[in-house]
Chain A
Amino acid sequence: MINLILYLLTLLLSSTIAGFVGSLTGLGGATVLVPIYTLFLGIPLPYATGASLISTIATSSGSASAYIKDKITNVRIGMSLEIATTLGAIVGSLIANIIYKMHLEDILFIIFGIVILSSVYVQLTKAKDELPKNVKPDWTTKLFKLYGSYYDQALKTEVEYHGIRWWLGEIVMFVAGLISGLLGIGSGALKVIGMDWAMNLPLKVSTTTSNFMIGVTAATSSSLYWVFGYIEPVLAGITAIGVLIGALAGTKVLVRIRNSRIRFIFIALLIILGVEMIIRGVFHGL
């Protein structure tokens, strides 16, 4: 009985920490959650990724609602890119199922580690909150109505923007969806790259719109994971609650510790987790 309570509390605590760190680093809870569950708690990878997908929906829907109200999220651009993320998610989930059937999850551990390390790298190199270069609209700007405006509280001005290269955004989004279905994460970092780098949208619009899109991507993969049997109710239920609590606490703290050293400590922690995931995959694969 005590073991049982202890186990449940460990799950709740780990998922709360994952949601907290994920929200502070901007990478989402799943990126931290899956390594903790698999490396430290010995939970099988399919169950860990299934639970993390579910938690991704909870945080996306929970926080997206606030951003839509602030009118920073561009619902139209998000919807147009979801064609590619949902398709990618279907393909990724099907590939994941084949990999699990063939008992090749070591490959997934290695891919997971690489994804963590590359998203940390992207985060460290990116200039923060800067407005994009002013580029000429192209044919996709007009056709897909890739424009909008929002009120920037830091700059205290209304920012008007437009996106370009819709097709390149779609390609990046397909990959983001694929990774999301394969690893059970939200792939927020890749989605931001798709909008910020490929489509030249302001970083604030990219991050909030990406957050809004993550829920639809994860819902696609989740329903497939459900059929494949990768969702264990107790684990997924506790994880959803824990990650949501952690993420909400994270957003409250975020305003205060922006750019501080604490953030770098968490990023260092992510690097360690990424390396450990690769080591785990390589050694089991040998």
Chain B
Amino acid sequence: MDFDSVMSYTLRIGVIISIALIILGFILLAQDPTALQRLASRHSIFNTSRVSPIQVLQGLNRFDGVDYILFGLIVLIATPVIRVILGLAGFIAERNKLYIVITFIVLLDLIIAIFIIPFLYK
């Protein structure tokens, strides 16, 4: 199996897992219609500024529907990031120096967006 196929499968599996988690989250939420009612509104005040990914992971043990949906969204956001990391690995294997640097810069941009700016913003 070549590198492109690995990348291709990673993307597909990532999407499938994330959609499955989101659907599971909705099934869990449906057990508690009042909670769902509060969230499912045009002007719901619950949004992601209030939850950190760590809190989401903790919520999974409690079978909290919202946390399953949020975890699904995190997996979805993570798929392209994993893709870039795989790309980096591929260029390292090819010993393609210029592209190792290029992919590293892309990864750096992602790290800035995912870790550095959120940390400064808090």
Residues of A within 8 A of B (CB): 1, 4, 7-8, 41-44, 47, 50, 54, 57-58, 60-62, 64-66, 68-69, 71, 75-76, 79-80, 82-83, 86-87, 89-90, 93-94, 143-145, 215-216, 218-238, 240-241, 244
Contacts and interface: CB of A to CB of B under 8 A. Distances in A.
A62 B80 CA distance: 11
Contacts of A42: 42
Interface string B78-96: 1111011001000000001
B55 interface: no
Which 4 residue pairs of A and B lie closest in terms of their CB atoms, listed nearest first? A229-B49, A86-B109, A215-B80, A65-B12
8 contacts: A4-B37, A61-B83, A83-B109, A218-B80, A229-B48, A232-B39, A232-B46, A238-B26
Contacts of B15: 58, 61-62, 65, 244
Contacts, number: 188
B90 to A, nearest CB: 8
Given A65-B12, A223-B113, A75 B48 contact: no
A41 B37 contact: no
Interface of B: 4-5, 7-9, 11-12, 14-15, 18-19, 22-23, 25-26, 29, 33, 36-37, 39-44, 46-50, 66, 69-70, 72-73, 76-81, 83-84, 87, 96, 98-99, 102-103, 105-106, 109-110, 112-114, 117-118, 121-122
B76 A223 contact: no
B69 A233 contact: yes
A57 B98 CA distance: 27
Given A145-B99, A226-B118, A233-B46, 18 more contacts: A50-B48, A62-B11, A64-B11, A65-B7, A65-B12, A90-B109, A90-B117, A221-B113, A228-B121, A229-B50, A235-B40, A236-B69, A237-B25, A240-B18, A240-B19, A240-B73, A240-B76, A244-B15
A233 B49 contact: no
A224 B119 CA distance: 11
Contacts of B72: 237, 240
A223 B77 contact: yes
A233 B73 contact: yes
A83 B107 CA distance: 9
B68 to A, nearest CB: 9
Interface centre among B23, B36, B46, B110 (most CB of A within 10 A): B110
Q: Which of B39, B76, B117 has the most CB of A within 10 A?
A: B76
A34 B3 CA distance: 36
